[in-house]
Structure 1
Amino acid sequence: MSARAEIFANIRRALEVTGQEAPRHRCVEDRLEHAPKGVVPIRGQGDTTARVALFRDEAERVSASIVEVDSGMAVPTSIATYLRDRNLPAKIRLGSDPYLAAMPWASTGLEVENGRAIASDLVCVSHAFGAVAETGSLVLTSGQDNPTTLNFLPDTHIVVVQAQDVVSDFERIWQKLRAAYGKALMPRTVNFITGPSRSADIGHKLLLGAHGPRTLHIIIAIGES
């Protein structure tokens, strides 16, 4: 018997239970199913327009740049314009995300490569699972659709998020994750990204790009397509 099993066996003997009692199992299941909700700040509440406006304010406050486009179909042109205006190469890398794949990349002249990011990539594009209005945070899940390396290796990270996926608070985003992936089935990694990478560990001087992208550009697609 392992030390862990022995400890639990001692507890059960002290309580005079076996651990198999149906009422105790029902009590635990009910607690997990109907756990009381914590206090949620009101500032993130509101309709889609209000949530997007707050998200934009908070994201810009932490040095992210943001533009809004009418729909996903306008994203490639928006990215091409962003890269041209900043004298960046017209070359991007993205995963196999179906939402991004359906966009008209060929019409922009951009060179698009797919797969995990490599050290030489300057610009990567991701599709966010969602966003949190109250903190201006993007939420990205790992997988072939949007490899986690896209979040950390490039100097410039461009993230597309749909307006309908901007939720009020962290509690809501976890509900959305559970609903999308099912009970006990979560992605290996969930990254919360709030602004570009930064650190002030050395001499209390703020440096961008310390542990990841120096620049974070967010494109909010208002329409569903």
Structure 2
Amino acid sequence: MKFSTRQVVVAGLLGSLTVALGLMPVGGFIPVPTPAGSATTMHLPTILAGILEGPVVGGLVGAIFGAFSFYRAQVQPNPIAKLIFSNPLIAFGPRILIGVAAYWAFQVAERRWGRVFLALAGGGVLGYTAYWASFRIGGMDAAAGPWRAALAAIVGLSVAWGLWVIGGRQKGGAPLAALVGTMTNTVGVLGLAVAFGYVPLPAALAVAVLHGIPEALVAMVLVTLVHSGVQAATPSRARS
């Protein structure tokens, strides 16, 4: 496959940014007291690579992210995180798929109905997550069912409204790509960790809530801002 000069440059820049984030004491990996050991912002260059230059470039930058995950596992003080990311399938697989998933989500959202899809997908995912989280916080009390449903509805509708507003100001591709890319990373890593027996399902779901939602929100804001800046600074002929 032949790469254009632009693709090589973008892959080099975003790959270098991934390396820089990975080497920073706090930046790419943010230590938190959960089984995963850290939250991450290293998926952001991979998402940008996917939506700017396609799934192959996104996959390459994601592989760099995966390489750092694998390397870091060898010096990781958290024994569970060390076990998880010493598995090459977990360290590399979901990371490579981030850029691929972000690219296709971006292509879908750039269609006419992308704004509707963005609002429904984001509101539905985060509303359901809030519903599940209420069980973790309040236990299995059946009497609290209506309150849990109300909480999920409020969260889902609020997120859907927010995404609808974002999509109205610009096409919804970048924030949806950020959401899908982040969820690909979170679900991929935790799903494989559960499948290999490294982490029990309840713990994985707890990490998904604690990590997935904040990481997704940060990604949606930052990726949208960076993508808008790149589009504004790039002549239309250079984008094509």
TM over 0.5: no
State TM-score, norm by structure 2. Answer: 0.22
More strand by share: 1
Q: Which has the larger radius of gyration?
A: 1
The structure, 1 or 2, with the larger RCO (C-alpha pairs under 8 Å, 6+ apart) is 1
More helix by share: 2
State TM-score, norm by structure 1. Answer: 0.23
